[in-house]
Amino acid sequence: MSKKSFLLLLSLLILFIFGSLLLGKYGFSASEYIRYFVAVLKGENLEDYKIIHTLVTEIRLPRIIACLLIGASLAISGAAYQAMFVNPLVSPSILGVLSGAGFGAALGMFFRLNEVLIQLSTFVFGFLAVIFALLISALYSRSGSVIVLVLGGVISGSLFTSLLSVLKYAADPNDTLPNITYFLMGSLSFASKSFMELSILPMFIGVLLLAFSGKYLNALSLGEEEAKSLGINVFKVKIFVILVATFVSALSVTIAGIIGWIGLITPHIARFVYGADNRSVLTASALIGAIFLLFCDSFSRLIFTFEIPIGIVTSLFGIPMFILVLRRAKKSF
């Protein structure tokens, strides 16, 4: 990605951040916001700005940070999976990662585990879902068929969805069940400070690690034999990508539940605009994913009189966007 393109995406992201920060049903005038930010920059007493300070720092800013982390994590994970498997249909949701991670998170909620154990459970079952999908693909297709891999992901996702249904059936209908059901729809209202404090650093590191793996994924896209001839340890690279991509995707589930489509469509958009070089696609996917989720969150907060789960909004926008880019995606693979 050229410096100009990167700066353009970064500027657009900053614009969306400020828009999300300043816009909402409970808003203030532009002059009030200016006076508040001037007071913050000068280090003045914020007693006169107590309401706006609470609104900005305690409510909107954590949601914005959650949007940035989740959007970037899901998008770059989808781009990494697609590049590694040379398959434009692969994403965290297609491979069963989100279903497995959702089951792990719900299991933690069912047994009322603490936040660290919930995150651990989310990652473990998300990773198991991917391994199960890959095992099915390996058992029934020695040539690594794309269709078998996708079907393996569908089977894996269906398995953990069924296990989740059993869990929901056994849950307390007056307490645990509503929490699990609403959680699985995907909502940024779950982005509590405690979860963010635990997740922000590892997710940021995971996104950076995937962003710097572009040259290795470029080698893998040439084929395993060609990658080996270039001195690439194919097995280690695949394990690394699967572990990191699953890790950040699972952490996104612990913060906001299951949010689909981002990991599938944003890599297509990035690849259409910036070409097939994964060094550019991975970085662009992370930025576009963050922008897309910020847009969806702002839309859900401003358009409706009540807050609907963000997973529904991403589906409403993701489906038509995927239809538009689906024909063009073949040219990149």
Residue type, 263: G
CA 73/CA 79 separation, integer angstroms: 10
- Grouped pLDDT means (10 residues each) for the chain, 333 residues: 83 92 80 88 84 86 91 95 84 86 92 85 90 84 66 90 93 87 80 74 94 92 84 88 89 87 90 89 95 91 80 88 69 49
Residue 105's H or E segment, with its range, is: helix 97-110
- DSSP states along 120-152: HHHHHHHHHHHHHHHHHHHHH-TT--HHHHHHH
pLDDT value of position 115: 78
Residue 205's H or E segment, with its range, is: helix 193-211
The SS3 call for residue 2 is: coil
CA 99/CA 160 separation, integer angstroms: 6
CA 124/CA 128 separation, integer angstroms: 6
State CA 79 to chain mean position distance. 11
Which of 322, 236, 285, 199 is CA-nearest to residue 228?
236
pLDDT value of position 143: 55
Identify each DSSP E strand in 160-236 by its residue range.
none
Which tokens hold the place of 64?
């914005």
Query: What Å distances lie between residue 242 and 41, 83, 186, 189, 207, CA to CA?
Result: 43, 12, 23, 28, 13
pLDDT value of position 333: 47
Which of 90, 110, 92, 114 is CA-nearest to residue 101?
92
Global pTM reads: 0.87
Buried b (16+ CB within 10 A) or exposed e, 259-288: bbbbbbbbbbbbbbebeebbbbbbbbbbbb
CA 186/CA 178 separation, integer angstroms: 13
Report which DSSP code applies to 56.
Answer: I
Q: Tokens 């910020």 belong to which residue?
A: 294
Identify each DSSP E strand in 172-282 by its residue range.
none
Do 270 and 52 form a contact (C-beta atoms < 8 A)? Answer: no
Its sign, for the CA torsion 279, 253, 301, 194, is: negative
Q: Please state whether 91 falls in left (phi above 0), alpha (psi between -120 and 50) or beta.
A: beta
Which tokens hold the place of 86?
């040379």
CA 167/CA 181 separation, integer angstroms: 11
CA 160/CA 78 separation, integer angstroms: 20
Domains of the chain and any CATH numbers: 3-332 (1.10.3470.10)
